[in-house]
């Protein structure tokens, strides 16, 4: 079972389940989860497999990730409003397609059900290049990581998955590297999800393009589309209040 963090109580609505993206964790979503729970919803954030405090597994395909999320929903009442970002968005889509009765409403944040041509292997190489035996503080790790990753924001994001005291990454880098083609790809899933679905993108991001819409509509016929001005791929970090407002409006918090 995935490691989860639950905030708030709500006897009226199903919980909101939040699935993070590649190299992320439940803790990345703590502020948004808390603010949603303060408005009266129960919010469950997860560490996806091979991330955070969840088990390390040999497989990391989207059907695997969907089954993990299905188990979490089953343990929290049997239905949820599901929000997934990037890799978590693909896992959430796979969940909705394979277990449609478990999903009441779906928000897919800045990702489409298509294969992408880029890779994140360079970030795995950068994390592996850090000599953890020399780490006393997060700042020590940041100085080493800066030699491989110039963007301070990306470094800060990656370093949230570093256990400084244990001198270890809370990421199964071997499995994530091995399954990088599958993470960037999209499985051949049949059927469709007929529930309300929102594809929410950053206006400065190119992850969800107009030519992706036919593929999206084929799988999610009730899909709606919205963009958050001034936000890139990490739209929840770039414009958190606007992102939160979109969740509230669509999920009916």
Instruction: Kindly name the residue from 125, 131, 174, 206 that is annotated as catalytic.
Output: 174
Angle separating helix axes 138-145 and 152-159, nearest 10 degrees: 130
Active site residue 76: no
- Rounded to 5 degrees, what angle do the CA atoms 194, 199, 202 make? 180
Active site residue 86: yes
Instruction: Kindly name the residue from 51, 233, 236, 238 that is annotated as catalytic.
Output: 233
**Pairing assessment for the beta strands 103-109 and 80-85 based on DSSP bridges:** parallel
2/136 Cα distance (integer angstroms): 29
Q: Which helix (H) or strand (E) holds 68?
A: helix 62-75
**Is 128 strand, coil or helix?**
helix
Instruction: Kindly name the residue from 25, 37, 54, 86 that is annotated as catalytic.
Output: 86
Which residues carry out catalysis? Answer: 86, 174, 233
């Amino acid at each position: 079972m995935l490691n989860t963090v639950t905030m708030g109580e709500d006897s009226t609505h199903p919980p909101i389940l939040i699935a993070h993206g590649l190299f992320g964790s439940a803790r990345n979503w703590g502020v948004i989860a808390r603010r949603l729970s303060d408005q009266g919803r129960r919010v469950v954030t997860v560490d996806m497999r091979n991330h955070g405090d969840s088990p390390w597994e040999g497989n990391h395909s989207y059907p695997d990730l969907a089954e993990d999320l299905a188990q979490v929903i089953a343990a929290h009442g049997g239905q949820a409003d599901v929000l997934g970002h990037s890799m978590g968005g693909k896992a959430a889509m796979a969940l909705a397609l394979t277990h449609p009765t478990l999903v009441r409403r779906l928000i897919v944040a800045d990702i489409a059900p298509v294969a992408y041509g880029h890779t994140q292997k360079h970030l795995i190489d950068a994390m592996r290049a850090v000599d953890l035996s020399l780490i006393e503080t997060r700042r020590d790790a940041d100085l080493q990581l800066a030699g491989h990753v110039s963007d301070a924001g990306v470094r800060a994001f990656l370093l949230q998955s570093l256990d400084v005291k244990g001198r270890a990454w809370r990421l199964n880098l071997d499995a994530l590297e091995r399954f990088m083609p599958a993470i960037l790809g999209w499985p051949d899933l049949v059927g469709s999800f007929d529930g309300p679905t929102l594809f929410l993108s950053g206006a400065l991001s190119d992850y969800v393009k107009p030519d992706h819409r036919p593929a999206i509509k084929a799988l999610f016929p009730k899909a709606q589309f919205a963009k958050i001005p001034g936000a890139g791929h990490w739209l929840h970090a770039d414009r958190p209040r606007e992102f939160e407002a979109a969740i509230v409006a669509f999920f009916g918090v």
